[in-house]
Amino acid sequence: MSLAALDTSPAVAAVREALEGVDGWLVGGTIRDALLGRPIEDVDIAFAGEPEAVARAVAKAAGGPAFPLSDEFGGWRALARSGGWTCDVSRLQGGSIEADLAQRDFSINAMASPLHGGGLIDPQGGQSDLDAGRLRVLGAEAYAADPLRPLRLVRLAAELGFAPDATTEALTAEAAPRIPETSPERVFAELRRLMVSSRVVDGLALSDRLGVTRAVLPEIYELHGVQQSHFHHLDVHDHTVEVLAQQVELESKLEEVFGPDTAALSAVLDEPFADELTRREALRFGALLHDIGKPATRGVRDDGRVTFIGHDSVGEEMVSELCRRLRTSDRLRTFLGALTRHHLVLGFLVHHTPLSRRAVYTYLRVCSPVEVEVTVLSCADRLATRGKNADAAIDAHLALAGELMGEALRWRAGGGAPKAPIRGDELAEALGIDRGPELGKLLAALQEARFAGEIETRAEAVELARELSKNAQP
């Protein structure tokens, strides 16, 4: 391992140029990633002075903004207009770089190098821990200084594929209950990075084992031990984790399920969505949260079969509360709520195939505006359900999902339901009725009929509307 990556990083070069003549140290994740040969997208600097002026100098050179970070250390962040990199500037703690590094979280983040070039400064043995793939917290005081750090450990484990040593595991489990003491925005930022990691399932297993999940997402922890019907082979918690695992796997094999619609589907899923997430990444949160309403709705019929009637609607409410607690955007909150509310719809339709055009219309209308994403989520859910008659049920579900995806993509591209062949005012005049609820119902019926291919022209629309209006009269 060497620091050669620092000299080839465009981000580091830009920061060095902006701060020519300024003494400071590259620290933390920048040094860690350089030693690992990972892309350097975040430049972290420790500086013996007020961070604001340094951050503003970097921002001015990079053509982006500078702003204070919401933590107790008084750090500042500069963003580059192009290149996608950030620069975080913090005040040197303790009077020397060695004292500063001793106050950081983990040994692999407690290394430094002079800003304008020089050797590795590694008083905490971070490089040997990097070599061993080991996460080692710098004592209980590191967790006492910042309650968020147990969650950061889990996120780093998932991102890097590292494992904590035994002492770190014990200290993390002890400190985990304090995570909610930190700001919700910081919690969600770490959780977001965990969820988009390629090793998210491993990270969640570690999180669960160390008590981090119980502190951050108690709704997921409460799924443990909630037994399901004979159509499931796992309890609700393990089923949920398996749904997420299947969702991650589906991301790389969409073509196996969605065939010729894969390119269009991938384009939709890769769209930037909300909270620094793409639709694809936000869908992972949907997989994790879709069944959180089950413990509150579990019932047992007289014949012994376990039910969860209404867990979709209860879950939608719980997802909304969870998102408010973590202070996500309203857009993400409503998206995840809609996924939870509608994740069962396609599964019910499997029993009514082949579907009529009106049935397809109803599916798209009910599931809008998540008709595309919930179709994908339902496949992950079905693949994770391997109880009685699983293989036949999975085959039937995936086949229907493949058929419906093209419809959903066209629906999305067209802005939803097709317009009726006649305007509302024209229809009111043709029928001699006033504007109001009756006219709205007729127009909705005409939209459905047009989707079903039953009408196309204005005259056909008027004729059908007149017939519907006459049949509705007592």
Name which of 213, 263, 259 is nearest 240 in CA terms.
213
Count Cα neighbours of 257 within 13 Å in the Cβ-side half-sphere: 27
Predicted confidence band of residue 2 (pLDDT cuts 50, 70, 90): confident
CA distance 241 to 203: 11
Q: Considering the chain, what percentage of its residues have pLDDT values greater than 70? A: 98
Q: Name the helix (H) or strand (E) containing 114.
A: strand 112-114
Which residue in 463, 461, 467 sits closest to 443, CA to CA?
A: 461
Q: Assess contact for 175 and 149: CB atoms under 8 A.
A: yes
Q: Alpha helix (H) ranges present in 414-474?
A: 424-431, 437-451, 458-472
What are the φ and ψ backbone dihedral angles of 51, each rounded to 5 degrees? Answer: -70, -20
* C-alpha neighbours within 13 Å on the C-beta side of residue 206: 27
Lowest mean pLDDT among 82-96, 103-117, 382-396, 435-449: 382-396
Closest CA to 425 of 458, 464, 381: 458
**pLDDT at residue 105 tops 90:** yes
Q: Residues 419, 325: contact at Cβ < 8 Å?
A: no
| Phi then psi dihedrals of residue 88, to 5 deg | -105, 130
- Tens of pLDDT, residues 47-70: 988 899 999 999 999 999 999 986
378, 397 Cβ separation under 8 angstroms: yes
Query: Which token pair is 180?
Result: 């909610």
| 380 has pLDDT over 80 | yes
pLDDT band at 192 (very low <50, low <70, confident <90, very high): very high
Phi-psi region of 420 (alpha: psi -120 to 50; beta: other; left: phi over 0): beta
The pair of structure tokens assigned to 406 is: 């093209």
The answer to whether the beta carbons of residues 345 and 382 sit under 8 Å apart is no
pLDDT digits (tens, 9 = 90+) for 132-154: 999 999 999 999 999 999 999 99
3-state helix, strand, coil in the chain (%, to 5): 60, 10, 30
Distance CA 293, CA 219 (A): 9
Q: How far apart are CA 36 and CA 131, in angstroms?
A: 9
Does pLDDT of 72 surpass 80? Answer: no
Query: Cβ distance 423 to 458 under 8 Å?
Result: no
Residues 381-408 pLDDT 10s: 999 988 677 888 999 999 999 999 999 9
8 Å CB contact between 137 and 172: yes
Residue 61 CA, distance from chain mean position: 33
Helix (H, G, I), strand (E, B) or coil at 134: strand
Query: CA–CA separation, 254 vs 266, rounded Å?
Result: 8
Q: Cis omega before residue 354 (within 30°)?
A: yes
Mean pLDDT for 284-312 is: 93
